[in-house]
Amino acid sequence: MNPAIGKTITLPADLLLYTELINPIKRLLSIVIASAVLLALFSTQSLATLELAKQNTEQIDKSAIRKLEQNASPLKSSEVLLAKIYQPGMDVRQFLVSEKFDGVRAVWNGQQFHSRAGNVINAPTWFTKGLPKTPLDGELWLARGKFEALSSAVRKDLPVDEEWRGITYLVFELPEATGIFQTRATRISEIVKKANLPQLKAVAQIRLNDEAALKAKLKQVVALGGEGLMLHKADAPYLTGRSDVLFKLKLRYDAEAKVVGHTPGRGKYKGKLGALEVVTPEGIHFKLGTGFSDAQRENPPKIGSMLTYSYLDKTKLGKPKFASFMRVRNEK
């Protein structure tokens, strides 16, 4: 019934049939259109997800490759030559003598630098460009009395160009090379000369006739701010580890120890560090109470950290005499 005119309208049978047919089709079309829209959205998101996953995978692969390249064949500390302490009475004429530089030990494997512990030292590209493909062993060095600045520069993951400008690589050994040391020293000079780079230098090796000349040379180096001397047996083959073919001579010696405890300070150091309780690799325990700045006493090296200390001599029991803190070892 139509209320406006008060009459009943009856639809024809064919129109009713058409309405019954078209309504399901409309619903089906609506479902199809909605499904298409959802599928398009899903596909777009899926493609974006797949692309992101691909990028992440590529980044992971590149990172893994870089890590493998960085860790390729480094020489560990046990695979480089380490010095013993010079003892009076040795035949000085058997050795080639050089200055002992207070730098950071660095092994060049032909592609990049590694520390004694085998960790990568990240040098600027311009610094390593042109360096020989021949493996080299030496020290990254800044200047006498500049160890802290040097250490800060070479320990950074991202090297700062300006901090590397004055650094040189001083070469004193050829890893795995044949022949006696005197021959290898000559070869080092030839390699450095051929490279002709300002940042690459061969450590000068000299002969001395006797212990008096050795002591005079030591005094000369120390007076100039140097650390001491190295004596490398001239006829020695290439060796690794701590060996009787290499000795160091200093007015004061240095060694490493592990921090195992803190002793509280007294008097003017009350509330601060009084001394560090340390143990050497040989198992010798002793306290280290001098050589600290006020800042270091307020914030002392953590228990478990490794440090370097200097000493004048050792007792019969192996304890260092007049030991003094130098620095915390901070290898990457």
C-alpha 171/C-alpha 194 separation (Å) is 14
The angle subtended at Cα 266 by Cα 261 and Cα 269, nearest 5°, is 85
Whether 84 is catalytic: no
CB burial class (10 A; 0-12, 13-18, 19+) of residue 178? exposed
Considering the candidates 76, 100, 268, 302, report the single residue annotated as catalytic: 100
Reduced to 3 DSSP states, what percent helix, strand and coil does the chain have, rounded to the nearest 5?
35, 30, 35
Q: Bridge partners of 104? A: 140
Q: Got the DSSP string for 19-42?
A: HHHHHHHHHHHHHHHHHHHHHHHH
- Residue among 327, 273, 282, 275 at smallest CA distance from 305: 327
Catalytic residue annotation:
100
